[in-house]
Amino acid sequence: MEIKRDFYLDKLVSLMWNGQVKVITGIRRCGKSYLLKTLFRRHLLDNGVLPEDILTIELDDINAAKYRNPLELSAYVDSWMSGASGRRYLFIDEIQMSDKVPNPHSPDGEKITFYDALNGFLHMENLDVYVTGSNSKMLSSDIKTEFRGRGDEIRVHPLSFAEYLSAVSVDKRDALDDYMRFGGMPFALSRPDDASREEYLKRLFDEVYLRDIVERKRVDRPDVMSRILDFLCSSVGSLTNANNIATSLASEQGSSATVKTVAAYIGHLEDAFLFSEAKRYDIKGHTYFDYPQKYYCEDVGLRNARCGFRQQEETHIMENIIYNELVRRGYSVDVGVVTSYEKDSQGKTVRKVREIDFVVNRSGERVYIQSAYAIQTEEKRLAELKPFSFTGDSFRKVVVRKDVGRRWFDESGVLNISVYDFLLDPSAI
């Protein structure tokens, strides 16, 4: 089964020959290698590039193990480029598997890393360089520093709902029901039945993500890491922090851990792209709260697998999907907080704190979004819309719902839009 990833392919094509290292990042098994080695390679071949002008080095392949040494990698590429007069392309897959090695010319113990090799390749005017990796701190946070401003990141996510729908032959409503259960990990889509999908996603968590984090980060309390995973997966869309999780763990025999350890382990999960943190933003005060915050899983299918496909809270799952789609579209996403002073039933003035699910910003544009699986009563409608009235500004306000058809504006100017329209139309908001 071939799944179109035109959103990312177009990005890669637009960055060709810009003098930068193209760094393709994302959670493992989300399709980074397929994007580079199949879709982008095909694009090059279709546009006249010869196969011998594309060099692919797969660092997770035992046959390429020696090239994890950046000196060996550099020598190999130098040899391949020797005498080449035309344009050539270098693909390096799973670059995070590269080693640090002693600089043989340095008496003070300086280390050579893959950054040094890649920066060296940038001096070759007829070489365009592309790498993939699954470690955010090694790659995303270092693009501006280690690559000396000569790196571009293309962040790849699991399948969006639009990509998922394009690959299946079912109605969009049935497709969304499946997507909310199994998520968008590409290989899960090719499994023959629901049971094998579930088994695949469970094995991904245990045999790929959890094992990889424990080994790479040298986690000495894998039991605690496992419990933190359980906690975050069962509480997506809920406020929490390292202190709350540590307190919860302390109530379980043999699972206690310090707040510092919990915070470090959460950092490992974010580093592996499994979870993203959404900070709380005081809309009127224009400041961020230090805690608590929300965490969303990179893929709801993985989240459901970790929960044993038991906790199917559709409201939180839909909220997670909306968050992921907003991030994929390039928005900065926060959780909005508004405060007001109102009269209670006894006439006393009380301070109330309300939440707007998402405050999204991009290029000076802001939109407030509420995720509402269903609004069945007037009381529910008023509760969902109330926070909008306290923002003190006129930015657009949107409610994404699963229980409406055609989009419409209410008397307050709030756009009510179906989750299908939102997920399938990038211009919807």
Domain boundaries of the chain, sorted by first residue: 6-155, 159-429
pLDDT for residue 101: 95
Residues of the chain with pLDDT under 50: none
Task: Identify which of 315, 176, 322, 313 has the alpha carbon closest to the alpha carbon of residue 234.
Answer: 313
Evaluate whether the domain defined by 6-155 bears CATH number 3.30.750.24: no
pLDDT for residue 138: 56
pLDDT for residue 108: 84
Beta bridge partners, 368, equal 359, 397
C-beta separation of 72 from 66 below 8 A: yes
Number of Cβ within 10 Å of residue 240's Cβ equals: 18
Give the amino acid at 82: S
pLDDT for residue 107: 82
Which residue is associated with the tokens 């890393």? 113
**CA–CA distance from 425 to each of 139, 162, 181, 185 (Å)?**
31, 9, 22, 21
pLDDT for residue 253: 66
108, with CB counted inside 10 A (0-12, 13-18, 19+), is exposed
pLDDT for residue 50: 97
**CA–CA distance from 167 to each of 160, 164, 184, 249 (Å)?**
11, 5, 11, 41
User: How remote is the C-alpha of 323 from its chain's centroid?
Assistant: 10
pTM of the model: 0.93
What is the Cα–Cα distance from 218 to 287, expressed in whole angstroms?
36
pLDDT for residue 310: 86
pLDDT for residue 137: 57
C-beta separation of 291 from 241 below 8 A: yes
Give the amino acid at 101: V
